[in-house]
Amino acid sequence: MGKALSYIPPSLKGDKVVVQLEEADIVEQEAYWSTALIGFSIMMMDIISSNFAMISDRDLVMQSGPYTYRNRPVILRNWEIDFEFNPECLNKVLLWIKFPSLPLGYWSAEALSKLASVVGRPMYIDKYTAAMERISYARVLVETDISHPLPDRVEISTLSGIIQQNLTYDWVPKFCVDCNLFGHNSDECQKKQKVETEEPQAPHP
């Protein structure tokens, strides 16, 4: 059975009708969804969600990726209050970054946060990096805007001098900046190619 609703008159600003949402209006939904992960299957255009008992359980699942759904890559995101179920707006994705041969002296959370911030918003260090059980590379999960180019090298200025540090990615989804969709890049965009073929050609002199 559904929930009963009440009539609450909207506000008027001049001749414009405005619906004002207060913190009390969304606190219940925020509490419910705060432990949720949103998964987006790129090729199938499916969006799925899962709720966990605790935020730590959600974070553990996030840190154990990447994942596939029906043998297709899945992009995971923490739920946010303004999350929109629109595949065309999901240009922010979570990517695992590796820093090969990064000196162990720079494996602190602070140093890795600075390094990962070159790509986007740092989220987590993986468990092997945190425990230093695998020292060939450090691995960090970062939220980034896939519509922007991803760096493959960063310069680190240290007290001992300059280090040129390489970056690699576990997986990078194809994203077309022309039609703002996943699954192909700009060179493969059929929509872009169609527009180009339909544009009138300038007459020869």
The residues pairing with 16 across neighbouring beta strands, listed in sequence order, are: 13
What confidence tens digit (pLDDT) does each residue in 109-166 have? 999 999 999 999 998 899 899 999 999 999 998 988 888 889 999 999 998 899 999 9
Single-letter amino acid code for the residue at 95: L
Q: Does any domain span residue 113?
A: yes
Q: Domain check: are 74 and 132 in the same one?
A: no
Compute φ and ψ for 154, nearest 5 degrees. -140, 145
Q: Does any domain span residue 52?
A: yes
Q: Determine the pLDDT at residue 69.
A: 62
Q: Does any domain span residue 135?
A: yes
Q: Determine the pLDDT at residue 65.
A: 64
What confidence tens digit (pLDDT) does each residue in 189-204 have? 766 555 555 556 556 6
Domain end position, chosen among 88, 106, 138: 88
Q: In 3D, which of 59, 181, 79 has the Cα closest to residue 126?
A: 59
What mean pLDDT comes out for the span 65-76? 64
Other CB atoms within 10 Å distance of the CB of residue 200:
5
What mean pLDDT comes out for the span 15-20? 84
| More confident of the two residues 77 and 195 | 77
| More confident of the two residues 176 and 178 | 176
The answer to whether residues 157 and 115 touch, using CB atoms and an 8 Å cutoff, is no
Domain count across the chain: 2
Q: Determine the pLDDT at residue 168.
A: 95
Q: Does any domain span residue 76?
A: yes
Contacts 24+ apart (CB under 8 A), 123-132: 123/62, 123/94, 124/59, 124/62, 124/63, 126/63, 126/96, 127/63, 132/104, 132/107
**Domain around 162:** 91-169
Q: Determine the pLDDT at residue 83.
A: 67
Q: In 3D, which of 77, 79, 75 has the Cα closest to residue 171?
A: 75
Q: Does any domain span residue 186?
A: no
Q: Domain check: are 158 and 98 in the same one?
A: yes
Q: Determine the pLDDT at residue 160.
A: 87
Q: Domain check: are 163 and 103 in the same one?
A: yes
DSSP run (H or E) holding 97: strand 92-100
Lowest mean pLDDT among 24-38, 55-69, 158-172: 55-69
Q: Does any domain span residue 197?
A: no
Structure tokens at 36: 């949720």
The residues pairing with 51 across neighbouring beta strands, listed in sequence order, are: 36
Q: Determine the pLDDT at residue 66.
A: 64
Q: Domain check: are 83 and 101 in the same one?
A: no
